[in-house]
Amino acid sequence: MSARSLRLLRTAVLAVLAVSFAAYGGQSLTRVWTLKKAVESLEREVGALRFETARLTADVDRLRTDPDYIEQIARAKLGLVMPGDRVYKLPPASGNR
């Protein structure tokens, strides 16, 4: 092979390598960046879920040990009344007034 053909072959090989790196290497970097953003998002979600779990655990503990809290929930969310309470039923508000 002549020096010119070796130089041409070397240039062609370098060009193929450069194009391959640009095509596949760029995708890899984009994929890594996308996955890093996804991991960060999931870590934030895990933190929020841990906070919610702690809040719910405290709520369960309170429901297990605090009768006044149980009464408060029963009255507010279930509409229950204690014996001797007076219940006033009001007509629903009409939108025509």
The answer to whether residue 92 sits within a structural domain is no
Q: How many Cα atoms within 13 Å fall on the side-chain side of residue 13?
A: 6
The answer to whether residue 84 sits within a structural domain is no
Burial class (CB within 10 angstroms; exposed 0-12, middle 13-18, buried 19+) of 73: middle
How many structural domains is the chain composed of?
A: 1
With tokens 């053909």, the residue in question is 5
Domain extent at residue 44: 3-78
The answer to whether residue 93 sits within a structural domain is no
The answer to whether residue 25 sits within a structural domain is yes
The answer to whether residue 36 sits within a structural domain is yes
The whole model's pTM is what? 0.53
pLDDT of the residue at 59: 95
Q: pLDDT tens digits for 26-57?
A: 667 788 889 999 999 999 999 999 999 999 99
